[in-house]
């Protein structure tokens, strides 16, 4: 949806359900979980007459990877709802499902591991491999996140000043041309074409 009920002017689109629904995201080829690790969930939401959200991580066959998280959306104004889940199993093919029992508006759905590289939000195993190369800087984000689309799309997104201090305040841009539906993205990190590696 893109109307006056949006979260803010920069983040213009959101998802609306007109009744009970379940929404599933498979991540990029699956969401990795490790037994015992904590994963932090957040979503901006509002509901016409209140609703309960049920959040779960599960394998493709439905096997639970965490105990479900439930949170009540109590108002028809935007608010951020958060919670944490501890993985009960290890998987590299998890799926995140957010269910609602009533008409709801959802935006900025996020799931991140509690333990990241030096608390910068970067995936620990990959960041450690990059750090071992001792780079002076990293072009991030790269590829289609910056280069896809005409200049009117790419240039505002690639400016640090336009990327906003928090994910919900960032200008969303169309997803990569190879992503199904080209869902808008703001990324969990501010944009900087040349970014000093966190040492």
Could you report the per-residue pLDDT of 90-134, keeping only the tens digit for each? 999 999 999 999 999 999 899 999 998 888 778 888 889 988 998
Q: Is residue 4 part of a domain?
A: no
- Please count the structural domains in the chain: 2
Domain match, 39 and 79 both: yes
- Give the domain extent around 161: 118-196
pLDDT at 160: 53
pLDDT at 71: 96
Q: Is residue 105 part of a domain?
A: yes
Question: 141 preceded by cis ω (within 30°)?
Answer: yes
- Angle, CA of 4, 14 and 6, to the nearest 5°: 20
Under the banding of pLDDT at 50, 70 and 90, the label for residue 19 is very high
Domain match, 103 and 124 both: no
pLDDT value at 23 more than 90: yes
pLDDT at 70: 97
CATH number at residue 98: 2.60.120.260
Question: How far, CA to CA in Å, does 97 sit from each of 38, 78, 110?
Answer: 17, 20, 11
Q: Is residue 7 part of a domain?
A: no
Domain match, 91 and 125 both: no
Q: Average pLDDT for residues 38-53, to the nearest whole number?
A: 95
Domain match, 82 and 146 both: no
* Summary mean pLDDT of the chain: 80
Domain match, 88 and 144 both: no
Q: Is residue 64 part of a domain?
A: yes
Q: Is residue 52 part of a domain?
A: yes
pLDDT value at 172 more than 70: no
pLDDT value at 162 more than 60: no
Question: How far, CA to CA in Å, does 108 sit from each of 45, 80, 125, 169?
Answer: 9, 9, 25, 10
pLDDT at 137: 74
Domain match, 107 and 171 both: no
DSSP string of the chain, one letter each residue: --STTSS-SSS---EEESSSEEEEE-TTTSEEE-TT-EEEEEEEEEESS-EEEEEEEE-TT--BSB--EEEEE--SS-EEEEEEEEBSS-EEEEEEEEEESS-EEEEEEEEEES--GGGSSS-HHHHHHHHTT--SEEEES-THHHHSS-HHHHHHHH-GGGS-SSGGGSPPB---TTSGGG--B--SS--EEEEE---
The pair phi, psi for residue 93, each rounded to 5°, is: -135, 40
Question: Which residue's structure tokens are 């949006």?
Answer: 6
Q: Average pLDDT for residues 54-68, to the nearest whole number?
A: 95
Domain match, 146 and 122 both: yes
Q: Is residue 180 part of a domain?
A: yes
Q: Average pLDDT for residues 195-199, to the nearest whole number?
A: 60
pLDDT at 152: 47
Q: Which of 54, 86, 114 is the last residue of a domain?
A: 114
Domain match, 33 and 103 both: yes
């Amino acid at each position: 949806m893109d109307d006056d009920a949006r979260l803010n002017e920069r983040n213009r689109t959101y998802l609306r359900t007109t009744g009970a629904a379940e929404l599933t995201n498979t991540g990029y080829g699956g969401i990795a979980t490790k037994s015992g690790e904590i994963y932090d969930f957040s979503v901006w939401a509002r509901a016409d007459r209140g609703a309960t959200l049920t959040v779960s991580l599960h394998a493709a066959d439905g096997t639970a990877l965490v105990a479900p998280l439930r949170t009540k959306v109590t108002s028809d104004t935007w608010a951020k709802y958060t919670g944490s889940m501890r993985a009960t199993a290890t998987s590299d093919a998890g799926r995140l499902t957010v269910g609602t029992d009533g008409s709801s508006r959802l935006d900025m759905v996020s799931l991140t591991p509690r333990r990241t590289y030096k608390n910068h939000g970067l995936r620990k195993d990959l960041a450690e491999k990059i750090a071992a190369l001792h780079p002076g800087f990293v072009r991030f984000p790269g590829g289609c996140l910056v280069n896809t689309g005409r200049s009117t799309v790419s240039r505002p997104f690639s400016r640090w000043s336009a990327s906003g201090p928090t994910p919900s305040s960032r200008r969303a841009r169309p997803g990569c041309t190879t992503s199904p539906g080209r869902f808008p993205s703001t990324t969990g990190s501010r944009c900087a074409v040349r970014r000093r590696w966190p040492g």
